[in-house]
Every structure is written in structure tokens, then in C-alpha cells.
């Protein structure tokens, strides 16, 4: 660009520029798509992009994956810059192959500690109209005008996620059974019948009966049966890997598995093609007992104005004792070059102001409490 600006000619002509294949780029942003794409800041507890096979400096390497980023594992996503943290680029021989490559690359993009827009990217790539090429600049407003929700990313085979959870759990039990130091006759006996409990946020859990044939070989292979559907799964990935690869019924897959959540240390979280489920893989008897357990509903926070994102509280527009009407401005939060105004959802009287101007807030931190 500097040489052209100085009057030099380009070393190639338009005739030298030829089309070859199809490329797609996804911009990976530190945003929470389930909170109206509000910024998400904090520590990158894990940041592991998919393996690269294309590079900017090598234009001969085609039909692969490229990642442009300036962040790394353990880094901090601050509130002072915009939300883009990476560009994910794929190149295929045609559009269908490029879409398939991008979906697989998103499956293998590990981001923990902050939220990202990867589930939304996955939903777009799977949308029938996008796949058919029937889209324009009004696509998001037309199809996601209500906002983005978990049900907007339906999996084409939800039982595969259940089977994968059972496979990983059975593999870990198989490893435990092989540990040395056990007295003869008292070793761990690994069964074949399990129940996978898909945990719902509101206490409505789904119980799936699963049969897992023995995991054999170092690669870890098993046939998992869920609701009459057969999944022949093999994976060389280690038990502590978040991103796992393998084959299911002869087709390659990349998925993410996490062990434990803040609310349930026994949970297995499975992510694939933008869909995320939280499960518990237990014995059938334990599932029967679990179904009898009471559900503790989350606390009622309707009296509070909560911070929807991490950010800087730049203004509190109300004070204790003030009568506030629905729609009235309550506070302003600044994050990633944007000011976000919070409004009262209903009429009320301010009982307490719980955060001060200039304070750094975390997600769901109370700012104002109404009487």
C-alpha cells in the first residue's frame, strides 16, 4: 500500500487474480449471545483455537483453517477495547465444504472464562436458508428478531450428545477399574447399563436409558445404544482433554467435554455444533433416586437491578427513597467502547443502592434494590 501510494505499480494485474474454492470467515467475539450479545470480559482460563493449516504468509496452503488472533491462554479480555478476539477463516473447494469445515473448526475452538459468540455462529451455519444461500443483510433481524436463545441451536441428533457423555463416563470407569493395588475379587466392576440425566435449568430433567458395550483398546471404542439408536464411537483423546476428536458410525467428529460445573461437580457438559447439554451419567438406581430429589428454585431477584455484563458503573441515576417508574433510567454501565443504559422493569421505590459510581461490576451483580 505504501508503494502504491508512492506511485509504484502493483506487481500483478486483475487478470492474474483468479477464483479458487470458497472461503468463510467467522469473527469470534467476547460476547454473550444469550444476553443480547452484551460484552463479556475477564480471564481467558482456556483459549485453544483449532489447529491451523493455512497461514497469511503462505498462499500456497489452501483448503484448510487459519486463525488470526492477538490473545492467548491465560490472557485478560479487558473492558477498554472492542469485543473481537479472533478471526477464524476456512477455505474449501466449494461453499458446502467451507461450511462443513467452519462448523468443525468452531466445534474445536475452546474458550473458557468468558462467553463467546461461537454458539450463534454455529446456529447461523446450520440455518437452512444460510446453507441454501438465501440470505441478506436483514437475515439476523428476520430470523433472530426475538433475540438468541438456546433453542435456536437445535442439534440434528441430540442422542449423539447423550451417547458421547455415556462413552466418556464409561471410559473413565474402565480406566479406574484398571488401577493397580486392588485386592483380588474386590476390584471395580464396570457395568454396561447407565442412565444419562440431561439437567434442565428449571428442574425439568430428561432421563435417558443407555447401554454401553465394553470400551476396548487404547483408542477407546464402544457401541452406545440410546433409545434404540446405535452409536459406534471411538476416540484417541485423553480423559482430561476438553476438546475431543474421534469417529461415530464412521464419521469424524470434534466435540468439547467438561467435567463439573459450579452447581454440580459431578456433571459432564457436552458441546457440539453449538448445542450444549449438562448431564449426569449414573446407574439406573441412582437415576430413580435422583428423580425423587426436590428441586431448589433459584432465588427471586425481581426486586433487583442486576448488571447484565462485566463493566464499569459510570452512573447511578437513582437514590434511596426515590419513586421510579417502569422504563425510567436507573444506571449506566460502560464496557468495550459502549455505554449500556439499564432501565427499571416495573414501578417501585428504591430501597438500597448497592453499587457506587466508578465500581467495576461482574455479571449479575446487584446495583439497586427496590422495596
Q: Which domains, ranges and CATH numbers included, belong to the chain?
A: 2-152 (3.30.470.20), 158-179+188-290 (3.30.700.30), 304-370 (2.40.50.100)
C-alpha 254/C-alpha 236 separation (Å) is 12
Collapsed DSSP state (helix, strand, coil) of residue 124 = helix
Cα 167 to Cα 59, 86, 230, 299, distances in angstroms: 40, 32, 12, 35
Task: Spell out the per-residue pLDDT of the chain, length 371, in tens.
Answer: 899 999 999 888 888 888 899 999 999 999 999 988 988 989 999 999 999 999 887 878 889 999 999 999 999 998 888 899 999 999 999 999 999 999 999 999 999 999 999 999 999 999 999 999 999 999 999 999 889 988 888 899 999 999 999 999 988 887 777 666 667 776 667 789 999 999 988 888 999 999 998 766 556 889 999 999 999 999 989 888 999 999 999 999 999 999 988 888 889 999 999 999 999 999 999 999 999 998 888 888 889 999 998 889 999 999 999 999 999 999 999 988 788 899 998 999 999 999 999 999 988 999 999 99
Considering the entire predicted model, what is its pTM? 0.85
Q: Which H or E run contains 257?
A: strand 251-259
C-alpha 108/C-alpha 221 separation (Å) is 21
* CA–centroid distance for 299 within its chain: 25
Name 286's Cβ contacts closer than 8 Å, sequence gap at least 6: 195
With contact defined as beta carbons under 8 Å apart, do 328 and 348 qualify? no
Q: What is the DSSP string of 323-366?
A: EE-TT-EEEEEEETTEEEEEE-SS-EEEEEE-S-TT-EE-TT-E
The burial of 157, by beta-carbon neighbours within 10 Å (0-12 exposed, 13-18 middle, 19 or more buried), is given as: middle
C-alpha 37/C-alpha 215 separation (Å) is 41
With contact defined as beta carbons under 8 Å apart, do 121 and 142 qualify? no
Strand partners, 232: 223
Name 328's Cβ contacts closer than 8 Å, sequence gap at least 6: 317, 318, 343, 344
Amino acid at each position: 500500500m505504501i508503494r502504491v501510494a508512492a506511485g509504484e505499480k502493483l506487481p500483478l494485474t486483475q487478470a492474474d487474480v483468479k477464483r479458487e474454492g470458497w472461503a468463510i470467515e467467522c469473527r469470534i467475539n467476547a460476547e454473550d449471545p444469550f444476553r443480547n450479545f452484551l460484552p463479556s470480559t475477564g480471564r481467558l482460563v482456556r483459549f485453544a483455537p483449532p489447529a491451523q493449516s493455512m497461514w497469511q504468509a503462505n498462499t500456497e496452503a489452501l483448503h484448510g483453517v487459519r486463525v488470526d488472533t492477538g490473545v492467548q491462554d491465560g490472557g485478560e479480555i479487558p473492558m477498554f477495547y472492542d469485543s473481537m478476539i479472533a478471526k477464524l477463516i476456512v477455505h474449501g473447494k466449494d461453499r458446502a465444504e467451507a461450511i462443513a469445515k467452519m462448523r468443525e473448526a468452531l466445534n474445536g475452538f475452546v474458550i473458557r472464562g468468558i462467553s463467546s459468540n461461537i454458539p450463534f455462529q454455529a446456529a447461523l451455519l446450520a440455518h437452512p436458508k444460510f446453507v441454501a444461500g438465501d440470505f441478506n443483510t436483514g437475515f439476523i433481524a428476520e430470523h433472530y428478531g426475538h433475540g438468541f436463545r438456546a433453542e435456536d441451536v437445535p442439534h440434528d441428533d441430540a442422542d449423539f450428545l447423550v451417547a458421547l457423555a455415556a462413552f466418556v463416563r464409561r471410559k473413565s470407569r474402565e480406566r479406574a477399574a484398571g488401577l493397580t493395588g486392588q485386592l483380588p475379587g474386590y476390584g471395580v466392576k464396570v457395568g454396561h447399563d447407565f442412565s444419562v440425566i440431561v439437567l434442565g435449568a428449571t428442574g425439568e430433567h430428561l432421563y435417558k436409558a443407555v447401554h454401553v458395550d465394553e470400551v476396548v483398546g487404547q483408542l477407546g471404542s464402544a457401541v452406545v445404544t440410546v433409545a434404540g439408536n446405535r452409536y459406534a464411537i471411538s476416540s484417541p483423546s485423553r480423559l482430561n482433554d476438553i476438546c475431543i476428536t474421534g469417529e461415530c458410525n464412521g464419521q469424524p467428529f470434534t466435540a468439547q467435554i467438561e467435567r463439573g460445573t459450579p452447581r454440580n461437580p459431578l456433571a459432564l457438559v457436552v458441546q457440539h455444533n453449538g448445542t450444549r447439554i449438562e448431564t449426569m451419567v449414573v446407574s439406573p438406581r441412582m437415576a430413580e433416586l435422583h428423580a425423587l430429589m426436590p428441586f431448589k428454585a433459584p432465588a427471586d431477584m425481581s426486586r433487583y437491578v442486576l448488571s447484565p455484563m462485566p463493566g464499569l458503573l459510570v452512573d447511578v441515576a437513582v437514590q434511596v427513597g426515590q419513586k421510579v417508574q417502569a422504563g425510567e433510567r436507573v444506571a449506566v454501565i460502560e464496557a468495550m467502547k459502549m455505554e449500556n443504559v439499564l432501565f427499571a422493569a416495573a414501578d417501585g421505590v428504591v430501597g438500597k443502592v448497592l453499587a457506587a459510581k466508578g465500581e467495576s461490576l461482574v455479571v449479575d451483580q446487584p446495583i439497586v434494590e427496590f422495596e
